[in-house]
Chains A and B, each alone.
Chain A
């Protein structure tokens, strides 16, 4: 199950939903909003998603992981909208018979999701500047007059 969520995530409930007596291992990953990125003090984050394709691509990643690592269950939920420091931005959980597959699958899902799912992150800095991550071009971002110093 891959989904986007506009509201805060409840990791305990997400993990409970994966409960399965066949599983000997459950590995979860939480991505949190941290206060610095590449030396810049970050005050808030904004996530925007192309929802129909994000959901399809997310579901494909989970299906790949299920197959590749013989998982019993898997889920990934990603926040959208404005998030404050310390908030949970993304949650991944997997269950498998044994820990090796569970660790590997959890890593696979978060790595693939970051690389492939059409979700974008805008950072807000304490200077008042903002930037869309991974979208910088030579000369900075047009439209962000108050670009933070490099």
Chain B
């Protein structure tokens, strides 16, 4: 079991109802963690439309999930 911190922005923040939480998980990858959270909280965005960041750097969703990291799932961006 790993414990990671997950930060939420924009549509995910609203759908989760908070900005950050600690999550205990057995997910092997970031994509698996997103799927787990999506199932638990009813996020509308499918995993293939969300990018992932670990400790403030982009990482592939297929990357392994390490204990103790800070994870952000990034909905489709819309600056400008």
A residues near B, CB below 8 A?
Answer: 31, 47-50, 52-53, 56-57, 78, 89-90, 110, 113-122, 132-135, 137, 139, 141-143
Contacts and interface: CB of A to CB of B under 8 A. Distances in A.
B80 A110 contact: yes
B45 A53 contact: no
B74 interface: yes
Given A48-B9, A132-B10, A135-B10, A115 B45 contact: no
Contacts of A141: 11, 44
Contact of B77 (A90, A110, A120): A120
Interface residues of B, number: 24
B26 interface: no
28 contacts: A48-B9, A48-B13, A49-B79, A50-B7, A50-B72, A53-B57, A53-B72, A90-B79, A90-B80, A110-B80, A118-B9, A118-B77, A119-B78, A132-B10, A132-B11, A132-B78, A133-B78, A134-B78, A135-B10, A135-B11, A135-B45, A135-B49, A137-B45, A137-B49, A139-B44, A141-B11, A143-B11, A143-B14
